[in-house]
Structure 1
Amino acid sequence: MHVSAIRNRAGQLEHVRVRWGWLPVWTTGVMPPRTVLPLHLVMRSRVFDRVRRDGRVLLAVDGWYESSNMPPAAHSPCLNYTTSRQSSPIFLAAIAQISDTPCGCDGLVLLTHGGKSGDQPRLLAFSAEDALEWLAPDLQWEQAEQLAEHTAVAEPQLEHVLTSQRPSYGRR
């Protein structure tokens, strides 16, 4: 499955289509494609240098599904649909490997932050006004951390509009 993303290339915003899930070359054959990674890992680890510098992208969304903190009933996990309380889109921060000639390692992974003191990590989401800061070419770890802490869309700006149980399809 491919998704639409926005990236900054040579000072110009550009629409790109990229595969959902990223399989870095060093994990090929060992792990399935990743769909989320913690911000602190991506911004502080040297293995992500190239994709951190050239691969920061945004995904414009109306909302997303995430696991609920409610205990699952009868082995069926609950999902919440989270959306903004305003009518404008939310921009999810991600990193993507996008080659000029497509290869098997190309793909996109969403970033999370938080998870301190037992909280569940949250997707790194921005309002339209703050989203472009994520695409700044010279963004460093300290600046990314400040963005996550101070300008990311927080719980009061979000609304859980639907909770549903995910069907469990097991053998009978």
Structure 2
Amino acid sequence: MPLTERVSNRTVHLTNGNCITDVDHIVFGTGYSWTLPFLPTVPVRNNRVPDLYQHVVWQKDPTLLFVGAVAAGLTFKVFEWQSVLAARLLAGRATLPSAEVMQKWEADRVKARGDGVKFTLLFPDFEDYFETLRRLAGEGVEGKGRKLPKFRREWVRAFFEGLERRKAMWRRLNLKSRAALNTETIHKEVARL
């Protein structure tokens, strides 16, 4: 599907020159919903996977590990750290706490954050989460795997500075698009006179 170039009235103009006319609604899908049709025994509830310890380890089968089951903020760094923990667990070089401790972690988090998307949100507790993953992964063996450094607060500062730059860029682009649409509308109105 070609990209949308612009929208005027009920017509969507595409970058390949085609138009879609008589459009009633445009729905922007800016988030995602969890589905795991390839893992029918793993439930999804309220847009999260229940029984995931530290958003990584499925408690019912600790060899089933998830990377990326978190919401917003420092995502790629989080994925890296989750991957190190997952690799160490699979290699037998890291151990998990007892089932009771893992269940308590989830119950406490549900109580504090709710049983939905906020459960997976790491903000504002980035440092606690990174340090927990680092502790669980352990130091590793020299020459075998990534040694996770201590959490650094400048990661969060840099993330939010980048976020503000992206938001400013989108505001500029939106203003430019609105101005172009307004100019187009004015030209059409003048042409009708």
The structure carrying a bigger helix percent of its residues is: 2
Please say whether Structure 1 and Structure 2 have the same fold, judged by a TM-score greater than 0.5: no
The structure carrying a bigger strand percent of its residues is: 1
TM-score calculated relative to the size of structure 1:
0.27
Higher relative contact order (CA 8 A, sep 6+): 1
